[in-house]
Structure 1
Amino acid sequence: MYNRTMVYCTPEHRFGSDALLLARFCEPKRSQKAADLCSGCGIVALEWHDRGHRGPCTALELQPEGSALLAAAVEEQQLTHITPACADLRTWRQDEGQFDVCACNPPYFTEGPQSKNAAHALARHENTCALEDVCACGFRLLKDGGRLALCHRPERLADVICALREAGLEPKRLRLVQQRPASAPWLLLAEGRRGGKPGLRVEPPLIVEGEGGFSPEMLRVYRKKENKKEGGR
């Protein structure tokens, strides 16, 4: 990453631009208590750290291999404020009502063919973690006024809004991500607030590509790539 925070990945446990966009969408303040749910290799927690977050951060992941990758990165870099936890968010009960911010890049699919790779199947399909489970966990962990942010597929927008509200998290922000200005959205970013009043703010779409390559906003997300180009001149 830009500030040289290391992320350990494998072919089974890696991350995409959706996780980076999620981390930017719901960045906690420096000392706030945060949780990265369905953390995988811990990319959201590590991106927050890279951008200056130093408050307590729990990274909750069901698959031991993914949680172990984050544990190795935390130990190697002495990131004492990040705590990897290999556990099921459906039954996680520690520090309830104490978090300011939770984020989750959940499984996207409820049906359709599944990968023969068990790790990929768990990460992509709601076999062990449904959208409702994520929202219920967020509600339990968050203090009043705390925020849960999700990234998901646009075709699941109605499900996301309903699940947030039914869990007691009022939908407050929504942003769609488009590859190009004329393209249909391929990702949504949504935020619900515990105890929030009704009123959803729809933010301008995030455009990934402009003329000649990444848009200025995506270049800021991929700071490392932008700086590499500058350094090679």
Structure 2
Amino acid sequence: MPFTFKQFHIDDDKCGMRVSTDAVVLGAWAPLQQDLLAGTPSDKQSIKRILDIGSGSGILSLMAAQRTHESVAITAVEIDAAAAAQSKHNVANSPWPNKVSVLNAAIGSEHGLGKFDHILCNPPYFDNGPQTQELRRANARHTNSLSFNELLQHVQTLLAEKGLASLVLPSESLDAFTMAMANTQLQLAQRVNVSTVSHKAPSRVLLCLRHESCAEEQRKSGELAAHATELLQQHMHIQDKNGLYSQQMQQICRDFYLKL
């Protein structure tokens, strides 16, 4: 169903995956100012290029456009033609039609995309179990066309030396994702366990990745912020026991949701 945010509108009826809380939380949480890894003002202004892998309706690209300086260039890559067309429509009708470029293509370095300072992805994550008969939705939800191994190899290739990649996964997919990451030179910089309600176990994880070589270089030079020398593991919940948005959710999403 269509979804209207404070500064833009999303149509998603042509997309395999509709607008979800997962995407909104990822788009609002992702450390686009690089303040996870460094503390100087110049570092916080370092992002010039952002990549959205599997952009679907374009929601992550448009959230990134709202959160970043007008000079930042955002590339959204979507393999499904109908979803890519709808993403282009949403971008064209947003306040940032010249800031976001949508490509109908499979992700890969062969497209000459270059390097990106931040990569966003709400990836297909189920590698087993029953699949819907609707092919577009099945491909969006399951690793039919983009496995964790393939995704992480692309992230490693396309991520700039000091860049970050932000993703969201179901908690049940974390082990498989971690095993795939062991075959790369990427490492986990931050993990946030996300519960739907305060008293329930986490059902989602927000992950921030970086190059191992960058982390080691920063650690040796003393550039790595003191609070980031160890993996930051945090927890947030979306709603409180009364069914209202938690303070954490309100804080990161108040620039987007109309009712906050």
The two structures have a TM-score, normalised by structure 2, of 0.79
Across the two proteins, how many residue pairs are aligned to each other? 228
- Determine the structure 2 residue equivalent to 1:129: 146
Q: Deviations over 1:30-57 (max 9, x none)?
A: 7521001011111100111223443111
Distance 1:91 1:205, change over 3 A: same
Is 1:207 matched up with 2:237? Answer: yes
- Determine the structure 1 residue equivalent to 2:12: 9
Q: Is the 8 A contact 1:164 1:192 kept in 2?
A: no
SS in 1 for 2:138: helix
SS in 1 for 2:87: helix
SS in 2 for 1:102: strand
Distance 1:53 1:192, change over 3 A: same
- Determine the structure 1 residue equivalent to 2:103: 85
One-letter amino acid of the counterpart of residue 190, structure 1: L
2:183, 2:7 → 1: CA distance? 40
Q: Is the 8 A contact 1:99 1:142 kept in 2?
A: yes
SS in 2 for 1:50: helix
Alignment partner for residue 193 of structure 2, among 176, 195, 205?
176
Question: Following TM superposition, by how much is the alpha carbon of 1:9 offset from its aligned partner in structure 2, in angstroms?
Answer: 1.3
The percentage of counterpart residues that share the same residue type is: 22
SS in 2 for 1:144: strand
Question: Following TM superposition, by how much is the alpha carbon of 1:11 offset from its aligned partner in structure 2, in angstroms?
Answer: 6.1
The two structures have a TM-score, normalised by structure 1, of 0.88
Structure 2 unaligned spans of 5+:
34-44, 217-228
Alignment partner for residue 95 of structure 1, among 113, 128, 140?
113
- Determine the structure 2 residue equivalent to 1:24: 28
SS in 1 for 2:179: helix
SS in 1 for 2:189: strand
2:166, 2:19 → 1: CA distance? 17
One-letter amino acid of the counterpart of residue 6, structure 1: H
Moved more, 69-78 or 176-185: 69-78
Two-structure CA RMSD over aligned residues (Å): 2.3
Structure 1 unaligned spans of 5+:
none
Alignment partner for residue 248 of structure 2, among 210, 213, 217?
217
Alignment partner for residue 133 of structure 2, among 116, 120, 124?
116
2:108, 2:93 → 1: CA distance? 30
Is 1:46 matched up with 2:77? Answer: no
- Determine the structure 2 residue equivalent to 1:148: 165
